[in-house]
Structure 1
């Protein structure tokens, strides 16, 4: 148990004693919150529990604080002082700090990681980009955030399933197939004519012209797909097919190829999924029809102008939404309704969707449908990612060198690397726009935060090598006396390490991987300061072993935290 948990339990015990004595009335007291004071003279931790309890106890906060302190007689507590309007500052005995370091080293790779609670099932669905082309940097932010959140929730003890929803049905797949057909014709010498955004074409369309689909995909990857199919099937075979049969074949072949490339990109980016859920399966199994029929029976769908409408305004939406068009074709919303109904029926305690900010309008309508099914809409948590702006040499980068469109995730990985890309995507909260400085991400300097953190880990392993070269043995931490660690920075480092388990808990609760990124940066910064001040070789053997234990605990937490972020912890740089 870490220092904070021991102290929280101590405050709870003191509160129970104070109530039992009659000094405080019984009641529902608030949760105990501990903070690390900004200045050392205010103690190791402080709490505003007395101020928060004033409404329940109907007493002056300072009187509450005095009563609590009077009942805090613990072997591990040096003293507790009341300050200001009712803050309590706690000063721990050094032995408790040293015991914490021993506990960290004893826990090893399990430090801060809670056992999996099989009943606490959480599904996280993220990325879910249309499989029609390469992922771009916006998808990269969602991929980094989603995978880090999955790792974080698992570290906090949740039983997590990661899922990718494949949009493999609908117009976008048809448009991709027709785009491949157009590039197929271009490869054979036809001239492509591209409509404007409204679908209009300038001039006459000649006999050698092929009109590119108005909503088609124009990236070079479509041409590469067409050429790959030609190489495999042969022009003669393809030209012998009817246009409809060829487009149908292009649709299936291109879809599988795009999915394979997409999965490969994500795997290279340290992103994997437990399940890939096909939208097409909802059509094949009539789940969309069943979902719509059930909503009809529940009175949540009505007919108007030949279409079927979800009465979503009844559940807080700004207007009702079409689910089945007047031509009988389901809308995207219909598939989303069936998909989320499927999620609820799988029995997850909590479902988290990570969507781009441009999908904010869908939040209310999907939740409205779930509420119409009498599902708890609060079980569905939708997180919206803000945009990413790339900068190089102070200028915004808008276009991909290869596709002429937005920069692809593969291009970013190739230029910047997986580790730096993931850290830069994760170092800000998801609800803030992210300015991604390519030059900084590529730099091997202390100004680059991910380099700075990884260098701390590599530095520790460099110390290990020096120690081994000097013939010094270490690693039997149970036998080490850590009391020689008396400098302020050494003690502060141990306390920082002690914060890690709660940092995992709080970061998971707030869906905030960026907190882990910030914590690791702060820990690395403290270590680098220690490295400049605290020698290991050439000092007293007891101090030497104690310091080796301290840096081993630091390396352990750095490695664990970087692992949650999906970033490597190199031993040499």
Structure 2
């Protein structure tokens, strides 16, 4: 019996009790599905629910009396071994071994779809993450968002949402000017501007711009007049830098559906249209020659200049136009993932959403991520040979590989700063979390290969009642949790919950295997349904591990 089936059985028992007048409830008050969860203490049973506490008051019944009546009815449900009432009205439910074991077959039959649900169905989500300026290689902070953002997109899709991954390409503003001037200075053999960019990558790109011009039969852009030269290095240099960023992300397993150019907001008139819309809504005023948005009406700490007195758009003007553009494209959830230095951005953008008439707690979500520190040989890793000042995505992948990097960055809450121990992540031991989980999957695959060699075939038999060992009950309990974990991770925007779940599942599997080492027949022992049923359980575990690792963009190896 799956958690969903148990949930439906409880709902059916409630509906029957309402229909026969036992519970004085409006039928509309009876939930279609009832929330069940694993008890914190396994000896209390397989599943628990507090539905009696939720409904008793509406029915005018004492919660414990309500629970006792519901327990009596549930006890006669096929597959339910016992139901106990605890405390003021909690129900602790124990399944019989056969009902619990059926989950293994259900998981195998559902395959890659097991764990998916409809918790976020109907939502169109625009998920913007990374969005690093194209002025240098992607550094470690952006890499964290690459891992977390892509994992969140996968989790949201598994929960039924329609997700668009979007990269905001910052190709407008002062940082691009500094980048272009840095390239030109390097090409001319001069020192970089005081506010410019350094590192070997500047020399590499400057050299490529010059080489491309020569290959096309064009003059060396470094010999052009200053304004023309800066423009030449800007146009080609930004393209080259961004192509490198996209390639690094692709190699990291992260690709975007939309690359949105900031410059297009200014070139297309989107900024002017957004300001006009806000003026129509009565939230824009003019003062001291500038145009202001009255964000204090919506909780911001001060009003914001959107068009400066010299007629130039302030930085927030582009953000305003970009938010409106996303909403006009039909997204009902605009999710932005930003670094720790963007805390001040939250209040003003929430105010912008409210100014457009949106609910800022529904239509706009801003997730703030904390810093990542790399440690090797017990000391901080601070420098990249190529970037000169920061550790890049390529540095991290070179050190530990894509799987270890993605898993390590996605397994912690973004609310917390994390220290990544490069020595640990390179180890092929159970101390390394990604190895621990991947090894569990490889172990299930090895059992499957051995089963084929010894003639154990799943399809020849299945007897769920033989899965009656305590470790099998625990392992089945872990397997049952994936749909709930996925729904919760999607709802809370916390994909790290999937990683922590996988580690618990891997632990449960290893303990079961150690207790039931003879999954397959030994020597001349005949093949029985015990072996076949255990193989179902192994394959169910393999499927859940693969599904969970897939949600994190991490491979599920067959051999290690």
TM above 0.5: yes
Q: Contact conserved, 1:34 with 1:47, CA < 8 A, in 2? A: yes
Which secondary structure state, in structure 2, belongs to the residue aligned with residue 568 of structure 1? coil
Aligned mates of 1:52, 1:109 — CA distance in 2 = 34
Alignment correspondent of 1:62: 64
Q: CA deviation at 1:34?
A: 2.2
Give the TM-score taking structure 2 as reference length: 0.93
Alignment correspondent of 1:209: none
Q: Contact conserved, 1:116 with 1:154, CA < 8 A, in 2? A: no
Find the partner of 2:535 among 545, 548, 553.
Answer: 548
Find the partner of 2:336 among 338, 353, 356.
Answer: 353
Find the partner of 2:489 among 501, 504, 507.
Answer: 507
Could you list the runs of 5+ residues in structure 2 that have no partner in the other structure?
none
Find the partner of 1:533 among 515, 525, 533.
Answer: 515
- After superposition, residues 476-487 of structure 1 pair within 5 angstroms as 476=459, 479-487=461-469
Give the TM-score taking structure 1 as reference length: 0.91
Aligned mates of 1:504, 1:85 — CA distance in 2 = 30
Alignment correspondent of 1:231: 211
Alignment correspondent of 1:303: 286
Q: CA 1:15–1:239 in 2, change beyond 3 Å: closer, same or farther?
A: closer
Aligned mates of 1:240, 1:77 — CA distance in 2 = 83
Q: Contact conserved, 1:17 with 1:71, CA < 8 A, in 2? A: no
Q: CA deviation at 1:113?
A: 2.5
**CA deviations over 1:92-136 (Å, ceiling 9, x no partner):** 122222322211111122222347988432221111111111011
Q: Contact conserved, 1:76 with 1:92, CA < 8 A, in 2? A: yes
Alignment correspondent of 2:174: 171
Find the partner of 2:375 among 377, 385, 391.
Answer: 391
Aligned mates of 2:426, 2:330 — CA distance in 1 = 44
Aligned mates of 1:57, 1:391 — CA distance in 2 = 59
Which secondary structure state, in structure 2, belongs to the residue aligned with residue 431 of structure 1? coil
Q: Does 1:274 align with 2:257?
A: yes
Q: CA deviation at 1:22?
A: 4.3
Q: Contact conserved, 2:458 with 2:533, CA < 8 A, in 1? A: no
Which secondary structure state, in structure 2, belongs to the residue aligned with residue 6 of structure 1? helix
Aligned mates of 1:66, 1:550 — CA distance in 2 = 34
Q: Does 1:400 align with 2:380?
A: no
Aligned mates of 1:402, 1:263 — CA distance in 2 = 17
Could you list the runs of 5+ residues in structure 1 that have no partner in the other structure?
193-211
Which secondary structure state, in structure 2, belongs to the residue aligned with residue 560 of structure 1? helix
Q: CA deviation at 1:295?
A: 1.7
Aligned mates of 1:349, 1:294 — CA distance in 2 = 19
**CA deviations over 1:232-258 (Å, ceiling 9, x no partner):** 324963344211111101001011001
Find the partner of 2:550 among 545, 559, 563.
Answer: 563
- After superposition, residues 48-447 of structure 1 pair within 5 angstroms as 48-72=50-74, 73-114=76-117, 119-186=122-189, 190=190, 192=191, 212-234=192-214, 237-377=220-360, 378-447=362-431
Q: CA deviation at 1:462?
A: 2.0
Which secondary structure state, in structure 2, belongs to the residue aligned with residue 476 of structure 1? helix
Aligned mates of 2:494, 2:268 — CA distance in 1 = 37
Aligned mates of 2:155, 2:321 — CA distance in 1 = 29
Alignment correspondent of 1:456: 440
RMSD of the alignment, in Å?
A: 2.1
Q: CA 1:486–1:386 in 2, change beyond 3 Å: closer, same or farther?
A: same
Aligned mates of 2:128, 2:497 — CA distance in 1 = 21
Residues 496-505 or 232-241, more deviating = 232-241
Q: CA deviation at 1:545?
A: 1.2
Q: Contact conserved, 1:169 with 1:280, CA < 8 A, in 2? A: yes
**CA deviations over 1:335-380 (Å, ceiling 9, x no partner):** 0100000001111122211111211211221222222222332211
**CA deviations over 1:142-185 (Å, ceiling 9, x no partner):** 11011001111111121111111111111111111011111112
Alignment correspondent of 1:201: none
Q: CA 1:215–1:305 in 2, change beyond 3 Å: closer, same or farther?
A: farther
Which secondary structure state, in structure 2, belongs to the residue aligned with residue 389 of structure 1? strand
Aligned mates of 2:409, 2:545 — CA distance in 1 = 18
Aligned length: 547
Aligned mates of 1:232, 1:15 — CA distance in 2 = 73
Q: CA deviation at 1:383?
A: 1.1
